[in-house]
């Protein structure tokens, strides 16, 4: 019997029974959209906590002599701030949050491949977050977010908790990566070929293998650190034959690709927002899609550019320097494609678009300062200074976090059915943008002047710019408060969004906001790219989506 002769009823047509009761609907949900929202809420809560730590840092640095917290506490504060922002905020929001929320809709699927596994991935995340923050109760990790041994071997008991927490959140990431990869490979709607996938899906597709592979390498490094701290098994302690540099290799083998875990999904968001609000097809669709894959691949071959001061052989230094420079090529291709998309477009300055444009400016700047650090001679001078801090905050806050906000202002309408308030949104953007630059731009010249990072007190000559930065950071925080107020206000009283407030063309905008639990009444067929604004939509089978009729599977038809 051929498969075609069988009645349809494959996985694409399958509808889970409607979840009943509050717990199954909103707590232990297997619906990717709810799980996505759970990720976002949890991520933003952790962002508030880690932001509080950031303001503790900036308040301490108001005075050259410190005095707000003790130097030991200061070490704990910046270590947990960095760890939380990377592993509990940016990565979960970019992958588990926006990934879950949007990409299954974009490929015309009813859910991810493994909904139960998805629920498990999510629930590991808040547990590990609480574990990380609980480390303050027992003496938090104090060797920076990179936790280099031998310092981390001698750290307080909370360092062991840190290992366990990051290991667990890594397991969650790995499971998410597997889930997303299978979903994209196997569950696309008919006609949704790889070269018709929206660029946000490409972003997730490039990120998923990084989540799977790089995170596992970090898990090994963390497991070894855990074993050494708890059982005294020598991996990193040089007095027992171990090597602290081994940790650096394993840590950066993960953490450089992790930079792309934190940026590729946001590239995807930018690639959706820019064409929608400039009413023009994205320029160089294939260039953007394939350069994501190139970045993901090259990202595995450059980790030792973080180790130029760790006694790397000179030929290896040159090799890693050149490899790192090559990543600038696919990244530059993207930036030029985005600028070309804007060129001559009818630009609509919505808040989402402002954040996308802000992303473009700040990320490009952060990319350029990255080249200074990838070049061996300048890195030897700048390593361990505030220049580094300035650089990666431009990439991770000016880049990733701006992208997160662009995504929030864009897709909030889809997840809640209401629009975020645009006026408050613009206040948010300008406070955030100005405050951000005030906070992190002076760090570059402070770095050139030789101000070291990771210090609780500093030379009085740096005081003016440090105060300037702290004021900037308070302004930035005000901006973020506007965002939270906006979310709370708009959920209750925001303007009703309707299915497609932006006139966007990807599939998630062709169904109601918020979508029904089964996403699509009928799985659509796809005929082309979603970016051709002058043409009719390239889909069929969507006629019933905005009517009241239930899907055929639920009307008692043969199943």
| Residue ranges binding Cu ion (CB under 5 A) | 256
Residues that bind another protein (CB under 8 A): 1, 3, 6-12, 14, 113-114, 117, 174, 177-179, 181-182, 185-187, 212-213, 215-217, 219-221, 224, 227, 231-235, 240-243, 245-246, 249-250, 253
Q: Which is nearer to another protein, 233 or 485 (CB)?
A: 233
Type and span of the H or E element at 540: strand 539-540
Cβ at position 107, least distance to another protein in Å: 14
Cβ at position 109, least distance to another protein in Å: 11
Cβ at position 274, least distance to Cu ion in Å: 26
Find which of another protein, Cu ion, none residue 416 binds, CB within 5 to 8 Å per kind: none
Find which of another protein, Cu ion, none residue 241 binds, CB within 5 to 8 Å per kind: another protein
Q: Which is nearer to another protein, 221 or 357 (CB)?
A: 221
**How close are the terminal C-alpha atoms of the chain, in Å?**
19
Cβ at position 119, least distance to another protein in Å: 15
Find which of another protein, Cu ion, none residue 224 binds, CB within 5 to 8 Å per kind: another protein
| CA–CA dist 169, 186 (Å, integer) | 26
Those residues whose C-beta lies under 8 Å from the C-beta of residue 196, and which sit 6 or more positions away, are: 526, 528, 529, 530, 538
Those residues whose C-beta lies under 8 Å from the C-beta of residue 470, and which sit 6 or more positions away, are: 58, 59, 61, 62, 439
Find which of Cu ion, another protein, none residue 537 binds, CB within 5 to 8 Å per kind: none
**Which residue has tokens 């360092």?**
159
Cβ at position 377, least distance to another protein in Å: 26
Of all residues in the shown chain, the one whose CB is closest to Cu ion is 256
| CA–CA dist 337, 506 (Å, integer) | 19
Find which of another protein, Cu ion, none residue 256 binds, CB within 5 to 8 Å per kind: Cu ion
Q: Tokens for 554, please give them.
A: 């639920």
Mind giving me the DSSP string for 146-171? TT-TTHHHHS-THHHHHHHHHHHHHH
Side-chain-side CA neighbours of 314 within 13 Å: the count stands at 1
| CA–CA dist 100, 112 (Å, integer) | 8
Cβ at position 1, least distance to another protein in Å: 6
Q: Which is nearer to Cu ion, 256 or 334 (CB)?
A: 256
| CA–CA dist 229, 227 (Å, integer) | 6
Find which of another protein, Cu ion, none residue 178 binds, CB within 5 to 8 Å per kind: another protein
The candidate with the shortest Cα–Cα distance to 501, out of 413, 434, 372, is 413
Find which of Cu ion, another protein, none residue 246 binds, CB within 5 to 8 Å per kind: another protein
Cβ at position 257, least distance to Cu ion in Å: 9
Find which of another protein, Cu ion, none residue 233 binds, CB within 5 to 8 Å per kind: another protein
Q: Which is nearer to Cu ion, 256 or 521 (CB)?
A: 256
| CA–CA dist 421, 365 (Å, integer) | 29
Cβ at position 224, least distance to another protein in Å: 7
360 close to 339: Cβ distance less than 8 angstroms:
yes
Q: Which is nearer to another protein, 245 or 294 (CB)?
A: 245
Q: Which is nearer to Cu ion, 256 or 428 (CB)?
A: 256
Strands (E), 40-162: none
Q: Which is nearer to another protein, 9 or 71 (CB)?
A: 9
Q: Which is nearer to another protein, 62 or 220 (CB)?
A: 220
539: β partners: 526
The candidate with the shortest Cα–Cα distance to 425, out of 489, 365, 474, is 489
- The helix/strand/coil state of 451 is coil
| CA–CA dist 373, 368 (Å, integer) | 9
Q: Which is nearer to another protein, 250 or 352 (CB)?
A: 250
Cβ at position 3, least distance to another protein in Å: 6
């Amino acid at each position: 019997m051929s498969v075609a002769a069988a009645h349809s009823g494959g996985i694409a047509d399958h509808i889970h029974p409607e979840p009943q009761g509050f717990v199954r609907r909103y707590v232990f949900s297997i619906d990717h959209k709810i799980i996505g929202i759970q990720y976002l809420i949890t991520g933003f809560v952790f962002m508030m906590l880690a932001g509080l730590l950031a303001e503790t840092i900036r308040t301490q640095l108001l005075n050259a002599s410190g005095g707000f917290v003790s130097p030991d506490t200061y070490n704990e504060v910046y270590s947990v701030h960095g760890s939380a922002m990377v592993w509990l905020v940016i990565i979960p929001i970019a992958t588990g949050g926006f990934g879950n929320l949007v990409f299954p809709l974009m490929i015309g699927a009813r859910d991810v491949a493994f909904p139960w596994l998805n629920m498990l991935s999510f629930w590991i995340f808040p547990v590990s977050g609480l574990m990380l923050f609980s480390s303050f109760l027992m003496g938090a990790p104090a060797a920076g977010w990179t936790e280099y041994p031998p310092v981390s071997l001698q750290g307080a008991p909370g360092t062991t908790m840190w290992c366990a927490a990051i290991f667990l959140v890594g397991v969650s990431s790995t499971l998410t990566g597997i889930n997303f990869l299978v979903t994209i490979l196997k569950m696309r709607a008919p006609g949704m070929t790889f070269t018709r996938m929206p660029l946000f899906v490409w972003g997730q597709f490039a990120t998923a293998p990084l989540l799977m592979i790089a995170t596992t390498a970090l898990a090994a490094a963390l497991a070894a650190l855990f074993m050494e701290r708890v059982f005294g098994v020598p991996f990193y302690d040089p007095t027992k034959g171990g090597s602290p540099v081994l940790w650096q290799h394993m840590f950066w083998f993960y953490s450089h690709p992790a930079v792309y875990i934190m940026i590729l999904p946001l590239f995807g968001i930018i690639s959706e927002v820019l064409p929608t609000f400039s009413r023009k097809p994205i320029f160089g669709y294939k260039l953007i899609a394939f350069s994501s894959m190139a970045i993901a691949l090259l990202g595995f071959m450059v980790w030792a550019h973080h180790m130029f001061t760790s006694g790397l052989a000179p030929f290896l230094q040159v090799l890693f320097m050149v490899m790192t420079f090559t990543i600038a090529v696919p990244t530059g291709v993207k930036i030029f494609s985005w600028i070309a998309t804007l060129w001559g477009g009818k630009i609509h300055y919505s808040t989402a678009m402002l954040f996308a444009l802000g992303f473009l400016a700040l990320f490009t700047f952060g990319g350029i300062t990255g080249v200074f650090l990838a070049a061996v001679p300048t890195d030897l001078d700048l390593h361990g200074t505030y220049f580094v801090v300035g650089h990666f905050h431009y990439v991770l806050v000016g880049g990733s976090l701006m992208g997160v906000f662009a995504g929030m202002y864009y897709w909030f309408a889809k997840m809640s059915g209401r629009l975020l308030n645009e006026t408050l949104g613009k206040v948010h953007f300008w406070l955030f943008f100005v405050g951000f630059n005030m906070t992190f731009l002076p760090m570059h010249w402070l770095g050139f002047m030789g101000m070291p990072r990771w210090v609780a007190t500093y030379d009085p000559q740096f005081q003016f710019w440090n105060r300037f930065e702290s004021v900037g950071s308070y302004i930035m925080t005000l901006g973020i408060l506007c965002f939270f107020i906006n979310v709370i206000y708009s959920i209750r009283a925001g303007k009703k969004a309707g299915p497609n407030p932006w006139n966007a063309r990807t599939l998630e905008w062709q169904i109601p906001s918020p979508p029904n639990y089964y996403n699509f009444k009928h799985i659509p067929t796809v005929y082309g790219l979603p970016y051709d604004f002058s043409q009719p939509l390239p889909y069929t089978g969507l006629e019933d989506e905005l009517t009241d009729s239930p899907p055929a599977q639920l009307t008692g038809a043969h199943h």
